Amino acid sequence: MTASASAAGDRDPGGGTDAYEPDPRRWRALWVTLVAGFMSLLDVTIVAVALPTVQRDLHASPAQVQWVVSGYTLTFALALVTAGRLGDALDRRRIFLMALCGFVLCSAACGAAPNITLLVVARLAQGLAAGFMAPQNSALIQQMFRGAERGRAFGYFGATVGISSASGPLIGGMILALADGPQGWRWIFYVNVPIGVLAVLLGRRLLPRTRRSGRGHVDVPGVLLLGLGVLAVMYPLVQAEAGGLGRLWWLFLVGAVILVAFVRWQYHLVAHETRPLLDPRLFTTVRGYAVGAGVGTLYFIGFSGVWLVFALFYQDGRHFSPLESGLAVTPFALGSAGAAVIAGRLVDRFGRLLTVCGLAGVICGLGGAALLLRFAPLDIAPWIAAPVLFLGGIAGGFVVSPNITMTLRDVPVHMAGAAGGALQTGQRLGAAVGTAALPGLFYLVLGNGGDYQNALVVALGTGIVGMLASLALAMYDWVRDRRARAAHRKCPEEVANSPVHSRLY
For residue range 419-452, list pLDDT tens digits in order: 888 888 888 788 878 877 888 788 888 877 778 8
Whether the CB-CB separation of 235 and 244 falls below 8 Å is answered with: yes
Average pLDDT for the chain = 82
What single-letter DSSP state applies at residue 376?
Answer: S
The reported pLDDT for the residue numbered 494 is 52
Residue pLDDT, tens place only, 377-435: 877 888 888 899 999 989 988 988 888 888 887 788 777 777 888 888 888 788 878 87
Residue pLDDT, tens place only, 313-333: 888 888 887 778 778 888 888
Range with the poorest average pLDDT among 135-144, 218-227, 443-452, 496-505: 496-505
Res. 9: pLDDT tops 50: no
Whether the CB-CB separation of 130 and 43 falls below 8 Å is answered with: yes
Residue 261 pLDDT grade (very low, low, confident, very high; cuts 50, 70, 90): very high
Backbone angles phi, psi at 80, to 5 degrees: -60, -55
The reported pLDDT for the residue numbered 2 is 38
Please return the burial class of 416, using the count of CB atoms within 10 Å of its CB with bins 0-12, 13-18 and 19+.
buried
- Helices of type H across 179-288: 187-190, 192-206, 220-238, 244-247, 250-271, 281-284
Backbone angles phi, psi at 216, to 5 degrees: -85, -5
The reported pLDDT for the residue numbered 472 is 94
Tell me the three state secondary structure of residue 278: coil
The reported pLDDT for the residue numbered 84 is 84
Angstrom CA distances, 357 to 78, 130, 213, 294, stand at 32, 32, 41, 17
Rounded to 5°, angle at Cα 349 from 348 and 352: 75
CA 184 to chain centroid, in Å, comes to 28
d(CA 468, CA 463): 9
